[in-house]
Structure 1
Amino acid sequence: MNDWTTSHQRATAQRHAEGWMFLIEAARDLRTTGAIAPSGKALAHALTEPVRARSPRPLAVLEAGAGTGAVTRHLIPRLPRGSRLDIVEANPRFAERLRVLAATHPSTTSRSAEITVHQRLVEDLDTDRRYDVIVSGLPLTNFTPDTVERIMGRYMKLLHPGGTLTYFAYLGTRRARTLLASPSEARRHAAVDHVMTAYQRRYATARWSVWANLPPAHVWHLQHPPMPSQPSTDGQQHHSDQVSQ
């Protein structure tokens, strides 16, 4: 058995274990686990694009709702040397898994990035730090509109001027809930969609369609308004619908 086969088998076993862990935690609490499976590589690539775009200077990055670390593993190797990564995860079992990942990932020592895991809700993160990039994996469609407004408001306050928030939303969830959910649940979901649409109209710079994910998703990039004398990181604000296979 060669090294590639062994590595492939380990990766497959890890994905299966994470899938079962997601299902178990979702059954326990949809507030902290809203996905049915860890994010795939294509989704992780789209979510971490703002980090690559800002290299090679050191960055302050926040990942919220990191789960089992599917996006975190994609993010750590892309951090420029001297960067800081704060990971916020409310689920205690996921948080412990993330601490192990942060301590053992091969890129952690070679890139000299400072990584800290915070076991708490992102709304309760007590910090004066501002971030260049925020990567959100929180299941916003599971929350009340007021909670979503608090989370989004907190994100925008935590961003540096010109900083980027990136998050995803599964395709087709609104239609599915409209057809299958109770009237009150359908109204809640529509109200959350209204909150998110307002933020998208005000701050969105890009939207990616990620079909190679279970389920497919849109990834949104929202940018905190730059200071008057500071150019946008994209040169100019724009809306796009880029496709990730």
Structure 2
Amino acid sequence: MNHWTTSHDRVLAQRNAEGWMFLIEAARDLRTTGAIAPSSTALARALTEPVRIQAPRPLAVLEAGAGTGPVTRALLPQLSRGSRLDIVEANPRFAARLRQLVATDPHLTARSQQVTVHQTYVEQLDTDQRYDVIVSGLPLTNFNPEQVERIMDRYLELLHPGGTLTYFAYLGTRKARALTASRDEARRHAAVDDIMAAYQRSYATGRWTVWGNLPPAHVWHLQRPLTTAADAPQAQFDGAGR
């Protein structure tokens, strides 16, 4: 049997299984799962770019809301010796799958101790570690404004000065919810959008549009200032993408 075909079929089977798992978990709780399909390869690549451009320097990386692991798989090959990856996933079924993914990943031969999966919420992550890059897969627009503020405050606290937070937001969700959701739900979504817009004005260094995802998404890069919040000027951002 052709080896490439066997490997290709194995990858397709894995992705199909993950797609079904994602749908099942979305049916359990769409608010915290956040989507009906795992992140695409194109979205994963955009989210992990800050890690890729700093390689091969050893980095401390945090991935929050990893789901079934499509972004994790993009991160693992980028981990140089001396790097560390902490993965935070609150869903116990996703967390178990992520541990299996880490244990069997060929890029980590004899180095699986570089990666730790934490089954918890990022706001409750008990660590003194500070990170060079945080990759967030959390569905922020599904949370209430108070939760979003806590999560974003925690992200900035966990970053080294000059560190990068990368996250995505689906296109068109505010308009869709305005048309289909209750008035209270539309107000909640608008309040979260306003909170995130304030963080973008203060910390954004770039935004990219990823059309090859279901649904399409913007990917944002935010940077913690090198100086204190009181001394740091607001980031200048022209909204240009690529």
Q: TM-score, normalization: structure 1?
A: 0.92
Q: Secondary structure at 1:11's aligned position in 2?
A: helix
Task: Please name the residue that 2:231 is paired with.
Answer: none
Q: For residues 55 and 4 of structure 1, what CA distance do their matches in structure 2 show?
A: 29
Task: Please name the residue that 1:151 is paired with.
Answer: 151
Q: For residues 29 and 11 of structure 2, what CA distance do their matches in structure 1 show?
A: 27
Q: Is the 8 A contact 1:26 1:34 kept in 2?
A: yes
Task: Please name the residue that 2:232 is paired with.
Answer: none
Q: For residues 109 and 202 of structure 1, what CA distance do their matches in structure 2 show?
A: 40
Percent identity for Structure 1 against Structure 2: 75
What is the number of equivalent residue pairs in this alignment? Answer: 236
Q: Is the 8 A contact 1:131 1:163 kept in 2?
A: yes
Task: Please name the residue that 2:124 is paired with.
Answer: 124
Q: Is the 8 A contact 2:201 2:236 kept in 1?
A: no
Q: For residues 30 and 93 of structure 2, what CA distance do their matches in structure 1 show?
A: 14
Task: Please name the residue that 1:242 is paired with.
Answer: 241
- Aligned amino acid, residue 106 of structure 1: P
Q: Deviations over 1:28-75 (max 9, x none)?
A: 123431111111111000000000121221000000000000100010
Q: Secondary structure at 1:242's aligned position in 2?
A: coil
Q: Is the 8 A contact 2:201 2:237 kept in 1?
A: no
1:12 equivalent in alignment to 2:12 = yes
Instruction: Give the CA RMSD over aligned residues.
Output: 1.6
1:1-245 superposed matches below 5 A: 1-109=1-109, 114-227=114-227, 238-243=237-242
Cα 1:124–1:112 shift into 2, 3 Å: closer
Name the stretch that deviates more: 88-97 or 13-22.
Answer: 13-22
Q: For residues 59 and 23 of structure 1, what CA distance do their matches in structure 2 show?
A: 33
Q: For residues 6 and 215 of structure 2, what CA distance do their matches in structure 1 show?
A: 28
Name the stretch that deviates more: 50-59 or 132-141.
Answer: 50-59
Q: For residues 27 and 105 of structure 1, what CA distance do their matches in structure 2 show?
A: 29
Q: Deviations over 1:178-226 (max 9, x none)?
A: 1111111000000000110000000000001000111110000000001
Q: Is the 8 A contact 2:37 2:214 kept in 1?
A: yes
Q: For residues 189 and 52 of structure 1, what CA distance do their matches in structure 2 show?
A: 32
Cα 1:60–1:147 shift into 2, 3 Å: same
Q: For residues 237 and 58 of structure 1, what CA distance do their matches in structure 2 show?
A: 29
The Cα shift of 1:227 comes to 3.8
Q: Secondary structure at 2:30's aligned position in 1?
A: coil
Q: For residues 111 and 239 of structure 1, what CA distance do their matches in structure 2 show?
A: 41
Q: Deviations over 1:140-198 (max 9, x none)?
A: 11100000000000000000000000000011111100111111100000000011000
